[in-house]
Amino acid sequence: MTMSTTHENKGFWHRFFFSLDHKDIGLQYLITTMFIAFFAGIFAMVFRIHLAFPDYHIPLFGIIDAKEYNILVTNHGLIMVLWLSMGILLATAGNYLIPTMLGTDDMAFPKLNKLSYWFFLLSVIILIISFFLPQKGFGGGWTLYPPLSVGDFGYNTPYKTFSDRFFSSNTFVLLAIALEFVALLMGGINFMVTLFNKRAKGMGLLQVPLLVWMIVIASILFMFSVGPLVAGTFMLLLDINAGTGFYDASRGGDPLLWEHLFWFFGHPEVYVILLPGLGILAEVITTNARKTLFGYKFILVLVLIATVLSLMVWAHHQFVAGVDPRAATVFGILTIIISLPFAGVILSFLATLWKSNLRLTLPMKWAMSAIVLFTILGGFTGLHLGAALFDMYAHDTSFVVAHFHYTLIPVVIFAGMAGFYHWFNKFSGRELNQFLGNLHFWLTFIFFNGFGIPLFLLGLAGQPRRYAGYDHIPYLSEGYLPLLREIATISAVILVLSQFIFIFNFIWSVYKGKKVTSNNPWQSTTLEWQTSSPPPHGNFEVYPVVYHGPYEYNRPGVDKDFLPQNQKI
Amino acid sequence: MNTTSLSKIAWNRIPQARFAMWTLIAGEFVIFGGLIVVYLLNRMKYPGWGEMAMHTNVVAGTINTFVLLTSSFFVVKAHEAAVKKNVEKVKFWIWLTILCALIFLGIKAYEYTHEIHLGFTLSSPALLEQGKHVETLYWALYYTMTGLHGLHVVGGALALFFVMRNVAKTKSYFHRIEAAGLYWHMVDIIWIFLFPLIYLIH
Amino acid sequence: MKIFPENVSVYGDDIDFLFWLITIVAGLATLIVLFLVIYPVLTRKKHKAKENIYVKGEGFKQLKWIYLAIFVMAVADFSFLIIESDGWIKTQETLPEKDFHVAIVGKQWLWEIIYPGPDGKLYTSDDVKKFNTMIVPQDAVIHMDLTAYDVLHSVFIPHARFKFDCLPGRKITRWVEFTKSGEYPMVCAEMCGVGHSRMVGKVVVLPQEKFEKELAKIYKK
């Protein structure tokens, strides 16, 4: 890897263990996240193949039974939501880009930063260990609802003594989650203090690139929403290991309590994921549209409103769960309202595109697809689910699965890839192969939709989710429904396999890709592009002074079509 | 190249350690807030809970409250000393704070021993046998909330100890006394909430 | 092309109508979004004067289109809410007078159906317990008391557009009314362990006289 730093002469392992440089830590997060997400992707392929072709012997897995199915589905969800999404969008992007975009040398607390990575790595290791404990993995759904998550799911594994229960997949998955939360909390504190304290001279808070704001607001939202779930997780661990009955109705407890504590975090969590994605889109769109961001302040205000609202909508996951239906009405109203600020943000991005001299580069293709897919198939189906009466029918069907894949994948994968393809040359000093990049993009776009659209139709036909098979159920095995499952499965398999094109491109280009001839091939205005690729240890030979906002493209009175932030007019 | 060269490449005024600590404190409040909400909801659901609180040792709880309040006073004195860069006084006041923490933990251990002896544990099998299912939830919450708080007392005391030792060795990093002190105040405030809710509810 | 299973519920039309309404409105919005994305791509090579394209998006004049769009969306959204509130109150907050009362207990991994017995009252000593098949009369209001024995379950009857969770330790009453005789699947819609996909029961809806005959048969056994 041609990462030039003053640690140049130190080996890979020395840097892995001892480097406090935020860029190294960001890349460590990237690799660790991609490693565990690889498994989550394989899990998805395996269980989807099982659903459409139940008699097929899957290589390395054989024929899946219901117990294995539940473990695969559960861990696919857990890994993708809790490790991949935040690992890429918060930890990797935040660590690598925040100090560089702010024009400073490193995070406010580099040692705390390194510690946060160790916690993250430990959480991944504990998660992997959970697959080798007697239960072979946690199989109660990524939402971990008790009483199911307190017991051993009917697996008939030893579960009587304290030792049985402590060394169970249940306990280990919860510990992994708790450790990961600690890592993200530490990271969040770092991001926040860095934004407020370590900006370049002349960079006011309203001249900070939107991505940095988005990551910091997301981190603050994470910090505030995760508290009750930490308490709840602690209580769930006690229910499993210490015989308490917090969620046991026969002991005065209540399973609904977990649902509330979980979703109080769970809903803001999706905005913790969405906000950095939107931030990446802002950076990629402005650079490639050669146009200033439309409504920077407007977007910030909308996002802050949405952030506050996000703490008040959680029970739309519980419309038919046994909460008071009058409360459901209130949550339904707030859910509908929260769609409005995000509509405003998306419209601002679209206004940025309007009448622009846009360049259809690879990052731009990813970015524009992200907007289209997220808004149309993700956002609008949220209206269906937010209408409680329809949710009564659609809840826990494949319609919900399609909805959240259309909100999460465009944000994590499409916007994530937009960012990756955009900043690859910055962190490696080389270019990604364009042909492979285009192949990756088109395959992902086509086959993601090939997976998602059938799933909407299957959900409307009344197909419940988290089922290990449908062929024994007549109303789900007639007509074109099996065909829809097959199309979704084949598309999902190709979708996952297409990502290997990306992994190959990534690794090959890091070592053999064409070296960039410029620090700023995209001709972008933000500060990370005004230093070498990759930036040196400390980021800048001379620390930049900022004279204006971060998106001065095609500014009247300036000859070039872009004006870097550290250049006077 | 690390962050102690702050003055060269940052020009903002918010002291970092304090800012970070306030953020951490906010996060901790949400965690304990969650537990307190759970406690209050259950209390409203089961009015008979008051009976269980009678088995807590109110005298011990009251003494502990004064111990923590006094320790907070000591930590303020330590901060005063730190501002004046007086290493000896810092050590003196921090040691007194840690002593208070140890007294607190000792009294708590005494309480726990007594309550466990009476059959009140996290799962309280004795109560279950008597058919008092709902009452077991009170004790589960009691141990969870006070136990988690106790862990924070231990953590806070350790933090104060290591920070003090570092100050004594290097004769600098005095600002960390304030940060650790803030954390200690948080531990104190959480107890101020827990004590009436858990001990005095009837 | 059939999207939904056949609707045999008195309130099913409300639900299906709500779906189509939202879909059509979203469809219109989709066309607008697609236009706003595709048109800039198609017209991208044209040179634009800097004065025209350096638009910061500040001030009412520049933001007015977005304000308008948000306003229109808000109106549409609130219309959805108003339209669905009737149906929500009807299905969740009111219980029309019952013609038949039955209890459903979700258990790992089957449905226990508890009939009220010859006295017509549930929770009395003559209740009859059956498994997985629930017979009910057509064109009658059926109250279902939902609970669970062990973990969370959820009763989902797609043809009735009905779903509600079964919680251990809680009894929640909801109602349905079937408009057509037939056999309709009843599946579990909350993850409950390895047998989750095997909890397939059925609701057998019979015209009144046939129903009474069948019920008498059940009570005799």
Domain boundaries, chain B: 29-36+58-199
Position A1 in a domain = no
Instruction: Answer whether the bond into residue C111 is a cis peptide, omega within 30°.
Output: no
Instruction: Please tell me the distance in Å from A372's CA to the nearest CA on chain B.
Output: 36
What pLDDT, on the 0 to 100 scale, is given for residue C120?
86
Domain count, chain A: 1
Cα Rg for chain A, rounded, in angstroms?
A: 24
Which helix (H) or strand (E) segment holds residue C106: the answer is strand C100-107
What are the chain B neighbours of A114 within 8 Å (beta carbons)? none
| Confidence (pLDDT) at C185 | 97
For A110, A433, B101, B185, the CA distances from B91, given in Å and listed in that order, are 28, 61, 15, 18
Residue of B nearest to A244 (CA): B123
pLDDT tops 70 at residue B197: yes
Query: Helix A169-197 and helix B16-45: axis angle, to 10°?
Result: 140
pLDDT of residue A544: 93
- Cα(C211)–Cα(A503) distance, integer angstroms: 63
Span A422-447, average pLDDT? 97
Tell if the CB–CB gap between C161 and A147 is shorter than 8 Å. Answer: no
Q: Which of B20, B32, B135 sits opposite A193 (nearest CB)?
A: B20
Looking at residue C28, its pLDDT comes to 96
CA-angle at B181, arms to B177 and B182, nearest 5°: 125
Touch criterion met for A and B (3+ Cβ pairs within 8 Å): yes
d(CA A388, CA A484): 27
Which residues lie closer than 8 Å to C94 by C-beta, 6 or more apart?
A: none
Closest CA to C150 of B176, A140, A539: A140
Name which of A153, A395, A396 is nearest C193 (Cβ-Cβ): A153
Distance from CA of A352 to the nearest CA of B (A): 32
Query: What pLDDT was estimated at residue B171?
Result: 87
The whole-number pLDDT of residue A216 equals: 96
**pLDDT 10s digits, A487-511:** 999 999 999 999 999 999 999 999 9
Is residue A157 classed as helix, strand or coil in its secondary structure? coil
Mean pLDDT confidence for A56-74: 93
In angstroms, the Cα distances linking A103 to A98, A204, C117 are: 9, 12, 78
For chains C and B, tell me whether 3 or more CB atom pairs sit within 8 A of each other.
no
Residue B4's pLDDT is 39
Q: Which of residues 112-131 of C touch A (CB under 8 A)?
A: none
Asked if A251 lies within 8 A of B134 by C-beta distance, the reply is: yes
- Split at pLDDT 50, 70, 90, the class of B194 is very high
d(CA C87, nearest CA chain A) in Å: 7
CA-to-CA dists, residue A243 to A240, A473, B137, angstroms: 6, 38, 11
Specify the CATH class of B29-36+58-199 in words.
mainly alpha
Nearest to C40 among A332, A353, A392 (CB): A353
| CB proximity A543 to B under 8 Å | yes
Neighbours of chain B (3+ CB pairs under 8 A): A
| C-alpha to C-alpha distance for A297 and C112, rounded to whole angstroms | 58
Q: Using the predicted structure, report yes or no on whether residue A5 has a pLDDT greater than 50.
A: no
Report the distance separating Cα A554 and Cα C54, nearest Å.
6
What is the predicted pLDDT for the residue at B11? Answer: 52
The neighbouring-strand residues paired with C187 are: C156
Domain assignment of residue A191, yes or no: yes
Q: Is A553 inside any structural domain? A: no
pLDDT band at B2 (very low <50, low <70, confident <90, very high): very low
Return d(Cα A49, Cα A39) in angstroms, integer.
15
Inspect the interface and report whether the beta carbons of C168 and A462 lie closer than 8 Å.
Answer: no
| pLDDT tens, residue order, chain C (221 aa) | 689 999 999 999 999 999 999 999 999 999 999 999 999 999 887 766 777 788 899 989 999 999 999 999 999 999 999 999 989 999 999 999 999 999 999 999 999 999 998 888 899 988 999 999 999 999 999 999 999 999 999 999 999 999 999 999 999 999 999 999 999 999 999 999 999 999 999 999 999 999 999 999 999 87
Query: Omega of the bond prior to A54 within 30 degrees of 0, cis?
Result: no
Structural domain including A477 reads 25-530
The CATH number covering residue A203 comes to: 1.20.210.10
The pLDDT mean for chain A works out to 93
Binning chain B into helix, strand and coil, the percentages to the nearest 5 are 85, 0, 15
- Position A7 pLDDT exceeds 80: no
Quick one: chain A helix, strand, coil %, rounded to 5? 65, 0, 30
| CB nearest B10 (choices: A110, A199, A243) | A199
3-state SS assignment for residue A279: helix
- pTM of the predicted structure, to 2 decimals: 0.93
CA C162 – CA C156 distance, rounded (Å): 6
Kindly determine whether residue A66 and residue C197, on different chains, have CB atoms separated by under 8 Å.
yes
pLDDT over 80 at B14, yes or no: no
Shortest distance between the Cα of B156 and any Cα of chain A, in A, equals 17
Per-residue pLDDT tens over the stretch B31-78: 999 999 999 988 888 877 778 888 888 999 999 999 999 999 999 999
Q: Quick one: which of C13, C16, C18, C5 has its CA closest to C157?
A: C5
A466: phi > 0 → left, psi -120 to 50 → alpha, else beta; which? left
A6 has a pLDDT exceeding 60: no
Residue window 51-80, chain A: list those with CB within 8 Å of chain C. 65-67, 70
- Higher model confidence: residue C200 or residue A251? C200
* Residues 6+ positions from A301 with CB-CB distance below 8 Å: none
Phi, psi for residue B6 in degrees, rounded to 5:
-55, -40
Percentage of chain A lying above the pLDDT 90 cut: 87
pLDDT in tens, A186-243: 999 999 999 998 999 999 999 999 999 999 999 999 999 999 999 999 999 999 999 8
The answer to whether A243 contacts B19, with C-beta atoms less than 8 Å apart, is no
CA quadruple B107, B110, B111, B112: dihedral positive or negative? positive
Nearest residue on chain A to C25, judged by CA atoms? A380
Greater confidence (A341 vs A329) lies with A341
Query: Residue A26's pLDDT band (boundaries 50, 70, 90)?
Result: very high
Q: How far is C97 from chain A (nearest CA, A)?
A: 19
Q: Give Cα separations from A336 to A175, A388, B119, B173, C22 (angstroms).
A: 35, 11, 50, 51, 12
Q: Tell whether A74 is covered by a domain.
A: yes
> Is C45 exposed, middle or buried, given 0-12, 13-18 or 19+ CB atoms closer than 10 A?
exposed
Nearest CB to A223; choose among B12, B27, B35: B27
Interior angle at CA C114, CA C110 and CA C116, nearest 5: 170
- Whose CA is closest to A476, among A489, A459, A493, A491? A459
Residue of chain A nearest C87, judged by CA positions:
A389
Sorting pLDDT into bands at 50, 70 and 90, what band is A2? Answer: very low
For B133, which of A110, A185, A251 is closest by C-beta distance? A251
> Is A560 near chain B, with CB under 8 Å?
no
Edge-first strand order for the sheet with C100-107 is C128-131, C110-115, C100-107, C141-148, C172-177
Per-residue pLDDT, averaged over A363-369, amounts to 97
Q: Which of B144, B135, B122 is nearest to B194 (CA)?
A: B144
Give the mean model confidence (pLDDT) for residues A351-361: 92
Structural domains in chain C plus CATH codes:
12-93 (no CATH), 100-220 (2.60.40.420)
pLDDT at position B202 is 64
